[in-house]
Structure 1
Amino acid sequence: MRTRHRDPARRRHIPHRRHIPHRMHDAARRRTRLRPPTGRALLAAAGLAAAAALGMAVAPTASATAAPAASADAIEAIGPQQWFTGDVNGTAAGAVIKVGCFGPVTPASTGHPLAGQTVAVHHVAASTATSAGYTGDSADRVVVGFEDAGPVVGLPVSIGAYDTAVAIPTDLQLPCYGPGKVNFVPAPTSSTARSTTVPVTYVSIGD
């Protein structure tokens, strides 16, 4: 009898038991993507959301606490019922005002104060106010007057805040040399207001 041999190329391919068709792989990947989050994943997401909310709540608090630092440097306005002292060129004792005087200088000679000189007032406690001024019931500024000045040209020197240096006007007529007085007067005045005075020495520059 003649034996028939099958062609190996025509043998049916039997897939391996562990072989999974591509369509099954695709279905498995889709199920993985659509799988709902586990309880642990939900807890982690909730924790991240709470941390973000906490960060948003804390941020305004930090900025609010930083605000007083800026206000600490704010200018203090002059107001009623306050004690104050005055200074000329940064001092209340031994103050000197430089005056530009040219040509022969006599006791009656006057000149203009040099630029760059200042007056200021400072808020003090009542316990240190033995020689200080007092704003009284109405004052919101202090007007500075040069007792030895001639006719004043321009506006008077008015100070509305403490610890703020204000320039001495260079159009004043002041003595070329000798002692003098600078008065610090609360305005508007009242029956309880009190002025204070800083003694100065005029020094001639340019003679």
Structure 2
Amino acid sequence: MTARLRALVPTLAALALAGLAAPAASADPIQDPIPVGPGMYFTAAVNPQVASTGAVPVIKVICPGPIQPGETGHPLAGQYVEAYAVVPPTSSLAGYTGSAAYEIDALFNGPTSAAVNPPVVIKNFFVEVPIPTTLNLPCGGTGTVSFVPIPTSPTAKGYAVKVAYGNIAV
């Protein structure tokens, strides 16, 4: 083997390995976060890994002891909300950030007007945002999580996700 060929073999081997690795890296594309901004259509999900199946997502709530009607508890850790940018044209079912929004607030309002929770703020599309374990949520039944563009404008339109509340302490 000549000196020139010996110098060329490692380079060819490296190129061959790079060519084999490239298809594996592109086989599972990852969506980069996209900042929420004005003029964007969107949809949303609660516990996205469940929502993709088409089933009503269940928010797991901790409510120990005998449950009374109207009782609330705190959500289990490890649950999320997420918003997804949608490319127009879209159906009338999608939300719209309007002319001013730079965030989307997920609102979990309790069963009574006194049990209002702070919003869960979404600043980027395609990013799971944890549901705080400090929220007060119903121990059972169904409800709606509202995804509202903030700040709002006359052209803004929210998006709603129906959810079920499941007590894990039963």
Do these two structures clear the TM 0.5 threshold for a shared fold by scoring above it? yes
Cα distance in 2 for residues equivalent to 1:163 and 1:186: 16
Task: Considering Cα pairs closer than 8 Å and 6+ residues apart, tell me whether 1 or 2 has the greater RCO.
Answer: 2
Could you report, residue by residue, the CA deviation over 1:103-135 in whole angstroms, capped at 9, with x for unpaired residues?
Answer: 111221110000000000000122333211000
Distance 1:148-1:127 versus aligned 2 partners, 3 A rule: farther
1:111 is aligned to: 73
Residue among 83, 88, 93 paired with 1:131: 93
Residue 60 of structure 2: which of 89, 94, 98 is its match?
Answer: 98
Structure 2: segments with no counterpart, 5+ residues: 1-25
1:157 aligns with 2:120: yes
- Return the letter of the residue paired with 2:60: K
Q: Which entry has the higher C-alpha Rg, 1 or 2?
A: 1
- Cα distance in 1 between the residues matched to 2:121 and 2:116: 17
Tell me the secondary structure at the aligned position of residue 128 of structure 1. Answer: coil
Give structure 1 stretches of 5+ with no counterpart. Answer: 1-68
- Higher helix proportion (structure 1 or 2): 1
Match for residue 192 of structure 1 among 155, 161, 164: 155
**TM-score, length basis structure 1:** 0.61
Letter in 2 for 1:137: S
Alignment coverage as a number of residue pairs: 135
Q: Is the 8 A contact 2:32 2:126 kept in 1?
A: no
The TM-score with structure 2 as length reference comes to: 0.74
Question: Is the Cα contact below 8 Å between 1:139 and 1:186 reproduced in 2?
Answer: yes
Comparing 99-108 with 169-178, greater Cα deviation is found at: 99-108
1:8-47 aligned at under 5 Å gives the runs none
1:86 paired residue among 22, 36, 44: 44
8 Å CA contact 2:46, 2:82 repeated in 1: yes
Cα distance in 2 between the residues matched to 1:178 and 1:202: 5
Root-mean-square deviation (Å): 1.9
Residues 82 and 123, structure 1, Cα contact 8 Å, conserved in 2? yes
Deviation at 1:73, TM superposition (A): 5.6
1:122 aligns with one of 66, 84, 92:
84
Asked if structure 1 preserves the Cα contact closer than 8 Å seen for 2:108 and 2:119, the reply is: no
